[in-house]
Structure 1
């Protein structure tokens, strides 16, 4: 891993992140009740791009490119745009290798653990917020 490779991935990630933000803002009108803006143009498109580009640009693919270009697009751009694309590619690799059980565990564990992690993060932060509010209220009451 060289500094140049790290820089290439970083620039791709920055561009992917910016693209995600812009698409999210543009998709707000259709994401009122269900996050369609995340599901369709971000997660589904990012998954398509990583699958399409990753296959097309293999060494024996129709349009082989350098490893740095693959890292730029697949890790940087797609990774910044959506981490779901990496998850989807890894799951497809398991399925293509007839590891259906492992693919199922990957899907179930990813969804359950990630939703659980979000919930745990929320609960933890809510505890900090509650404590901060109590401290602020106590300080305000003492000043009165």
Structure 2
């Protein structure tokens, strides 16, 4: 358990640094009017999650999942894990659950952020 937690922590540190560097690079190239850095990270991280899931299954590398999926890709973008869960539900034929998961995740996450903003602004006012 401790070894797995260390793998996740190390991978998370790598992913977080990668996310930062991509964000800085995209900002320097295209400016900051639209969140292209976050969008790029989310799309690319989701792509990498898909590649890793298949490659790990075919190559017997699923033992690296905590380091790569939860750690690196989770630190790079949590959107990749969200995307994997949504597609897994879809591929299982649970279309209603997939749609509910996507809808609730987006709406409630944005709602949670807005509530956090409100609560913090009220506390610090």
TM-score by length of 2: 0.94
Q: Which has the larger radius of gyration?
A: 1
Higher RCO (CA 8 Å, separation ≥ 6 residues): 2
1:65 alignment counterpart: 61
Alignment of 1:1-144 (within 5 A): 2-29=1-28, 30=30, 32-40=32-40, 42-58=41-57, 61=58, 63-67=59-63, 69-130=64-125
Using the alignment, how far apart are the partners of 1:66 and 1:124 within structure 2? 41
How far apart are residue 22 of structure 1 and its match? 1.1
Greater helix percent: which structure? 2
After superposition, the Cα gap between the structure-2 partners of 1:52 and 1:7, relative to the gap in structure 1 and judged at 3 Å, is same
Following TM superposition, where does structure 1 have runs of at least 4 consecutive aligned residues deviating by more than 4 angstroms?
Answer: none
* RMSD over aligned Cα atoms: 1.2
Equivalenced residues, count: 124
TM-score, normalised to structure 1, is: 0.82
> Is the 1:47–1:85 Cα contact (8 Å) retained in structure 2?
yes
The one-character-per-residue Cα deviations of 1:33-72 (angstroms, maximum 9, x if unpaired) are: 22111112x10011011111111111xx1x22151x1211
SS of equivalent to 1:57: helix
